[in-house]
Homo-oligomer: A and B are copies of this chain.
């Protein structure tokens, strides 16, 4: 907004799919406003693609396109590199090369960050330049920057996110329209929200990779995808959703990252992804369709939530664009704000987490059954918050929500329940967030 001399910043873009093309268009449309506000004049000087003969629908002269991504990174006239090609290699090598040349990098690549984040953070710190990746988690939602900056001094205790739009769309369809999982999945596929092989989304791998990045930033700790326990949504039925609603909850696939105190007083971190009962009055319950949200809890800040589009070319490009402006501004100031090395902390295994649980049991419908069942809960120190019986006779089902309990104790309870004669089968088992 002030009067400054314009600084020209030449941008090299690696990849020109949905996000890359939307970014190039956004730079074209908005560079005047950005220049007026910040004094930085952005120019997309090179775009590396696999095939230069494809029409990308962007307003660029043909000589901007090249198939030689390494040449873009090495071109001394390129000031900032944007990596939106995806995948691990060659993205990793190209990002490392750019950083080693002292060029700030903006990336939207969650797989790369989840698997090799710390190597990249350390490389950026060594070079004293920015590595920014707002778009890599929860698309358009500004969540990385608050975690790195606004909340840098906040004693965060838990971060919970709906970070996979595909599964949130499927669960919303099942919840609002009574669609089966299979029908909702094929609707998501026909709308382009789900891949033809949906495993990465529906089994929680994608959310797990994002959870690793979130936990790393929130707690300054080394967390990789292999540290993240995950369960997907393919086992969630419409009957579970209906049962949850009858007990005042909806079901969401949540990524949960918690900071805990270990027995020796140190910091430890637990990170997991699973379908979760969320109380209907909780702000996360209002996050529907393909929207994402990240809910942050801290000792001072209380509760925060960040909500928005988790995917899509233009929303994701918007986040990349914000990072690009920031990287360019820091470049002009001569100093980035790299993250650097992460602390090594103990990762608590799933058995040690505390959660409330939802459980349905098919039982014999006769006097004394509830007493037997309750005795098993009590024997493992798991206390029951609410219970209801549905159906009668051969259809009788008991549904429970517990108070907070240790996962190992709850699993032991399940084992004990399975041995009761009166329990015909254990139905659904889902974790519940406290309200």
Contact = CB atoms under 8 A, between A and B. Distances in A.
Interface in A137-181: 140-142, 145-146, 149-155
Contacts of A413: none
A339 interface: yes
Interface in A298-325: 298-309, 312, 314-315, 317-319, 321-325
Nearest to A149: B326
Nearest to A285: B286
A338 interface: yes
B343 A33 contact: no
A393 interface: no
Contact of A153 (B151, B287, B321, B340): B321
A201 B298 CA distance: 27
Contact of A150 (B36, B152, B322): B322
A38 interface: yes
Interface string A273-291: 0000000010101111001
Contact of A302 (B1, B309, B338): B309
A301 B155 contact: no
Interface in A12-54: 22, 26-27, 29-30, 33-34, 36-38
A301 B318 contact: yes
Interface residues of A, number: 72
Contacts of A343: 1
B29 A155 contact: yes
A220 interface: yes
B153 A142 contact: no
A396 interface: no
Given A150-B322, A152-B38, A322-B150, A140 B301 contact: yes
Interface stretch (A97-105, A224-232, A329-337, A365-373): A329-337
A309 B146 CA distance: 15
B302 A314 contact: yes
For the complex of A and B, 10 pairs with smallest distance between CB atoms: A2-B340, A286-B286, A305-B307, A150-B322, A142-B150, A304-B308, A300-B318, A301-B318, A333-B335, A302-B309
Given A29-B155, A36-B220, A37-B220, 13 more contacts: A1-B339, A2-B341, A30-B155, A142-B145, A152-B325, A153-B325, A281-B288, A285-B286, A301-B308, A301-B315, A302-B312, A303-B307, A304-B306
Interface of A: 1-3, 22, 26-27, 29-30, 33-34, 36-38, 122, 125, 134, 140-142, 145-146, 149-155, 220, 281, 283, 285-288, 291, 293, 298-309, 312, 314-315, 317-319, 321-326, 329, 333-335, 337-343
